[in-house]
Structure formats: C-alpha cells, structure tokens
Structure 1
C-alpha cells in the first residue's frame, strides 16, 4: 500500500496510527513532495467525486481561489493541477491496487484496510 500523507498533518497521523496498530504495511510518501499520480487521482475521483480530492481548508486552496476556479475547470485540468501540487490534495490518500481511500474515516479504514 502507498500512503500519501504529510508528517505535520494530524489526520495523517491518526490514519498511520490506525494502520500501525493493525500491522498494515505501507510505504509512506510525502504528498507535498510527491503528489499522487494521475491514475490514483482518477481512481479517487471515481469513488468520491472531484471536490472531495481538494484540501479545501488548506492555504494553497484559498490562495489560488480554487473555490471559484473549480467551477470552470474540466476534470482533466483539475487532475493535472492536483498531480503537480500536493498541497492542494486532501490527505491522506491510501492506495493499494484498485482500492483507494481519501481522508481518514475510522469506519472506512476498518472496512477497507483492516482486512488486508
């Protein structure tokens, strides 16, 4: 499993603690240095929708006025932007093959990752 997170993110720390506590192996990747590839982003969009992939509480989201810009962007343009700017991406993103989760919801993690 690849785990795209940020070491100063409290939500990422909770997700890692959950995975560690259940012995789930993962490769930790700093999302700010290495954003998820387009394939992973597209998988996440298929499951959650485009808006869920944006870190709407982040500084970059506000500085770039993404709330308004998203209205006129195509999905391809949004994916291009997310794939090049990890600070815009909602975190953490955990991916293993065709399975992906965005953010940390303990119930979702129990259903998705505790079984692996």
Structure 2
C-alpha cells in the first residue's frame, strides 16, 4: 500500500499517524521529492475523476491567479497543473494494487477500509 502526499501537510501527518497506530504497513511517496507522473495522474483520474484530485480548498489553489484557475476545466489542464504544482493534489491518496482506496483523511472511512 502506498500513501501519496507531502510530509509537512497536517492532513497527511494525521493519516500517517493513524496508519502507524493501527499497524498498517505503507510506503510513503512524497510529491515534493519524487514528483508524480502524468500516467499515474491519468490512472487516478479514471478512478476518482480529475475534479476530486484537485484540492480547490487548499492554499496552493487559492494562491493561483484567477486566469490560471479558470483554465482548469478538463482532465488535461488539471493534470498539467498537478504535475507543475504537486501541492494542489488532494492528499493523502492511498493506493493498493494500482487502485485508489482513499482520498483525503477520514478516520471512520479508514477504519472501515483498513
């Protein structure tokens, strides 16, 4: 199982703490150090939709100028943005066997899932 995110994100920290406390073995993929491939983003987009992957509530999204946000109207534009600014990807994303298991952190959902 792989958890994708950014180490210094509070939501990711909460998820990682929960996973550790519950003895769930994971591999962590940090977008800041490892980046993310276009192919992986397309794969996730097919599973959960590109709209779910873009964190429109986060600081990175809010800091984009209006013209840049207005361009994100389809999968190709969203993927281009996520590759350029990995902080705009909703996190954490948990994947196992190339399937998205969870997006974001919800303790109740994690309990059911894991």
Q: CA deviation at 1:108?
A: 2.5
SS of residue matched to 1:7: coil
Q: Which runs of 5+ in 2 are unaligned?
A: none
1:22 maps onto 2:12 in alignment: no
Q: CA deviation at 1:104?
A: 0.9
Measured on the aligned residues, the alpha-carbon RMSD in Å equals 2.1
Q: TM-score, normalised by structure 2?
A: 0.77
Q: CA deviation at 1:87?
A: 1.1
Q: CA deviation at 1:68?
A: 2.0
Alignment of 1:56-75 (within 5 A): 56-64=56-64, 65=66, 66-71=68-73, 74-75=74-75
Deviations 1:24-60, CA, capped at 9 Å, x for gaps: 1112222223333334323432343222211223333
Asked whether the 8 Å contact 1:34–1:86 carries over to 2, the reply is no
Asked whether the 8 Å contact 1:3–1:26 carries over to 2, the reply is yes
Q: TM-score, normalised by structure 1?
A: 0.76
Q: Which runs of 5+ in 1 are unaligned?
A: none
User: Which contiguous aligned blocks of 4+ residues in structure 1 show a shift greater than 3 angstroms?
Assistant: none
- Distance of aligned partners of 1:106 and 1:36 in 2 relative to their CA distance in 1, 3 Å threshold: farther
Report how many residues are paired. 111
- Whole-Å Cα distance in 2 between the matches of residues 58 and 106 of structure 1? 20
Q: Which residue of 1 aligns with 2:86?
A: 86
- Whole-Å Cα distance in 1 between the matches of residues 90 and 78 of structure 2? 13
